[in-house]
Structure 1
Amino acid sequence: MTVDHVDHLAETAGTAEALTATAAAAVTYYPVAPGVRLNVRSGPGTGYGIVRVLAEGARVPVHCQTPGTRVTGPYGTSAIWDDIGDGYVSDAYVRTGSDGYVASRCS
């Protein structure tokens, strides 16, 4: 392996690390409604199984959002579900400051 090749590999690795750090920094955390222990479901709707329950005072990362079951909660009625990384929560229980999408649509 040449010195130039090693330098290129190091440069490429540094770029990948920077992109990963930028993507991680792009995720915004939002508070769950006060006094609520929120169900995290395996999919975007109340018909999906509960995978865990968030403690009161939790903040969640919203990686992306997708339509699902319409739910009424402290922040109105919404069919938007937030992908928090290990499951989905209804946006009606998350204070995003908006009635619409605040993150990209899940693919």
Structure 2
Amino acid sequence: MATAARTYPIIASVNVRSGPGTSYSKVGRLTAGTRVTIQCQKAGQTVTGPGGTSNLWDRIGSGRWVSDTYVRTGSTGYVAPRC
């Protein structure tokens, strides 16, 4: 039996990027309270956000990335497989 994918809330409004850094193009925006499924995580550009400072980025879809500092995962490390 498959288990439901874990979702995490967005802490504050954040731009969704095409890759793991702010130099990548914006492909969308998420507002606080939106829940996302993290497919995998990768080190990228270091960002300071509402959840602290980290170089960890979360892939939430194909070509859709957000800084982990904007996602309340309950951890400062990896909570999903590495990309």
TM-score (norm 2): 0.90
**Aligned with residue 65 of structure 2, among 85, 88, 105:** 88
1:74 CA displacement: 1.1
| Deviation for aligned residue 1:55 | 2.5
Could you tell me which runs of 5 or more consecutive residues in structure 2 were left unpaired when the two chains were aligned. none
- RMSD, aligned α-carbons: 1.4
Unaligned 5+ runs, structure 1: 1-17
Following TM superposition, by how much is the alpha carbon of 1:99 offset from its aligned partner in structure 2, in angstroms? 0.6
Q: 1:61-98 CA deviation, whole Å, 9 max, x = no partner?
A: 10100010000111110100000014000000100000
Distance 1:73 1:101 in 2: 17
Which residue of structure 1 aligns with residue 81 of structure 2?
A: 104
Q: Distance in 1 between matches of 2:30 and 2:81?
A: 23
The higher-RCO structure (CA 8 Å, 6+ apart) is: 2
Greater strand content: 2
Match of 1:55 in 2: 31
Which residue type is aligned with residue 7 of structure 2?
Answer: Y
2:54 to 69, 78, 81: 78
Runs (4+) of structure 1 exceeding 3 A deviation are none
Matched, 1:32 2:10: yes
TM-score by length of 1: 0.71
**Tell me, what secondary structure is at the counterpart of 1:92?**
helix
